[in-house]
Amino acid sequence: MTTRPAEQPQAHRSGFACLVGRPNAGKSTLTNALVGAKVAIMSEKPQTTRHTIRGIVHRPDAQLVLVDTPGLHKPRTLLGERLNDLVRTTWAEVDVIGMCLPADEKIGPGDRFIARELARIQRTPKIAIVTKTDLATKKQIAEQLIAVEQLGREVDLEWAEIVPVSAVKHYQVDLLADLMIKYLPEGPPLYPEGELTDEPEQVMVAELIREAALEGVRDELPHSLAVVVEEMLPREGRPADRPLLDIHANLFVERPSQKAIVIGAGGQRLKEVGTKARRQIEALLGTPVYLDLHVKVAKDWQRDPKQLRRLGF
């Protein structure tokens, strides 16, 4: 009678993955879907991600740390140049890169530009992710998968995998996580169980305020709006079972006309921004919040190195 050797336990893998793509390719939405919680700002406006936000995917046999960078783009300001530098630095430090290409949009010059940049990075595996499949027909998805394969050949970029996903419908999101984990090195968890991001709470709060302020405004505003949380303190004298967190934040724009847009007639729009942001912040922090918002003009801050530093860039 022969005995079968006991199966070796699967080695734990941990490492970093980066989602790249032109602005508004679905990177932040996909990050949130993979993590299972909102850790990245989402907006229909392109180029809204400013910080390198890490989302952490926990599995029994793996830990995948997602780095969600700003979209690589042709910079028109000093801020734009710094965001692009941030992207390239991140690419050089991760274990696997996923390039997002929307299923409902034809491949364009922006996609080719990023693919060429990726082709210059040796050794790091690259996964092509066809996003937003919920917005495309089966025919469009099939055509896009072929186009993505051709894009790789065109720029001499070998895709490790090509996978269609829908973050909104959670279609193949878990499969994508499996494929990314396959390329991580063996190693122990990098973050404690249950931790979903390493962003400081103040940065997360500022991003939620900015997301609420961006909703429904003119195209020019996303790039001109910055939010700084000046103070987050528990209200003194509150009973232990009824805590209240006081948050004071400033919204910075570049021109008085933009300030008027954010505030709205009679302050109504700013009030709506505060209400929406407060709900999101309370859900994030799990405590009641008093949110105090002020709008200030920082003239041409995107082009001013001193102001960029003050605003955290």
Strand partners, 246: 233, 290
The pLDDT, as a whole number, for residue 42 is 54
Q: What is the pTM of this model?
A: 0.62
CA 119/CA 101 separation, integer angstroms:
16
Q: Which pLDDT band holds residue 71 (cuts at 50, 70, 90)?
A: low
CA 81/CA 233 separation, integer angstroms:
35
Whether residue 239 is predicted with pLDDT greater than 60 in this model: the reply is yes
Give the pLDDT confidence of 152-195 residue by residue, as tens digits.
Answer: 999 999 999 999 999 999 999 999 999 999 999 999 998 888 77
Whether residue 41 is predicted with pLDDT greater than 70 in this model: the reply is no
Residue written as token pair 């922090």: 285
Strands, sheet with 289-297, edge to edge from the N-terminal-most edge strand: 226-234, 245-253, 289-297
Which has the higher per-residue pLDDT, 303 or 218?
Answer: 303
CB 70 within 8 A of CB 83: yes
Query: Chain-centre distance of CA 205, in angstroms?
Result: 14
Strands, sheet with 53-59, edge to edge from the N-terminal-most edge strand: 53-59, 62-68, 13-20, 96-102, 126-131, 161-164
Give the pLDDT confidence of 104-136 residue by residue, as tens digits.
Answer: 999 999 999 999 989 988 889 999 999 999 999
Length of the chain: 313
Strand locations in 2-84 (E) = 13-20, 53-59, 62-68
Cβ within 8 Å of residue 105, ≥6 positions away: none
- Give the closest residue to 48 by CA, choosing from 264, 293, 217, 292: 217
The pLDDT, as a whole number, for residue 129 is 98
Average pLDDT over residues 68-97: 74
Residue 32's alpha-carbon distances to 3, 16, 36, in angstroms, are: 46, 16, 6
Whether residue 63 is predicted with pLDDT greater than 50 in this model: the reply is yes
